[in-house]
Amino acid sequence: MQSILVGFGSAVGAGAEEITLRLLYQLITILVATRVVTWLVRRLGQTDVSGEILAGLLLGPSLLGALFPGFMHGLFHPSTGTIFTGLAQVGLIFLMFQIGLEFEFNRHLGGDRRSVIVISLLSIAVPFVMGYFSAPWFHARLSEAVPLFGFQLFFAVAMSITAIPILGRIFMVLGLSHTRTAALTIGAAAIDDVSGWMILGAISLLVKGAFSWGWAVPRVIGLAAYLVLVFFVVR
């Protein structure tokens, strides 16, 4: 029995060590690629965020996975997927926390909260309409097996939602995090994000034929109540 336990402990230790090494290789690769690409885009007058996004595209399925799928699978091994995702989520939490610390929402939006709602509604509606009508062109080239109507709705939502972490990071890199423009933009993007997830859920049910007003109405009322509470009651 003791020999079995010792062998089991050794196997667990070996597995943990292998996963740790793979994770370190991944982090080193990402850091080196990010630093190199960021240096290049900075020479072109772009922000560091652009380089970080481009480095992710280069290391992901878009380039590395398309040209060298075996190498990408070996580098980003599935055994580290859960840990890597956890680290990414923790980093995202810290980034959002930093955005909340640096952006002066109360100072710039204290008496102008209606503008945030108007900007949010327009920033959803205009890209949604444009995305919906431009989606057939992409559908014919990218996803013919998917029904056109569902593809149009999903594409429209994807075009109308702004990534708050990316937007906030751009403002911080440019030194604009304390400006009124930044506060208005992030405030509107926050409403877009909440609304976008609700719209995406409704579209998913609609495409599947499971949409019901009993599902939608309470959530719309809840969202409206939340916005009123945040922008007009809480100070």
| 76 contacts 26 by C-beta, under 8 angstroms | yes
pLDDT digits 0-9 by tens, 93-130: 888 888 878 777 777 666 666 777 788 888 888 989 99
Give dist(CA 226, CA 81) in Å, integer: 35
Q: Where are the alpha helices (DSSP H) in the chain?
A: 2-43, 48-59, 64-67, 69-75, 81-102, 105-109, 113-142, 148-160, 164-173, 180-208, 213-228
SS3 108: helix
Give dist(CA 123, CA 134) in Å, integer: 17
Closest CA relative to residue 154, chosen from 128, 119, 175: 128
Closest CA relative to residue 227, chosen from 125, 136, 118, 139: 118
pLDDT digits 0-9 by tens, 165-219: 888 888 888 888 888 888 888 888 888 887 887 788 778 777 776 666 676 777 7
Residue type, 98: Q
| 153 contacts 203 by C-beta, under 8 angstroms | yes
| 140 contacts 205 by C-beta, under 8 angstroms | no
Maximum distance among all alpha carbons in the chain? 72
Q: Which single residue is written with the structure tokens 């959530």?
A: 219
pTM: 0.68
Give dist(CA 196, CA 161) in Å, integer: 6
How many residues are given for the chain? 235
pLDDT digits 0-9 by tens, 37-79: 999 999 998 888 888 889 999 998 888 888 888 888 888 888 8
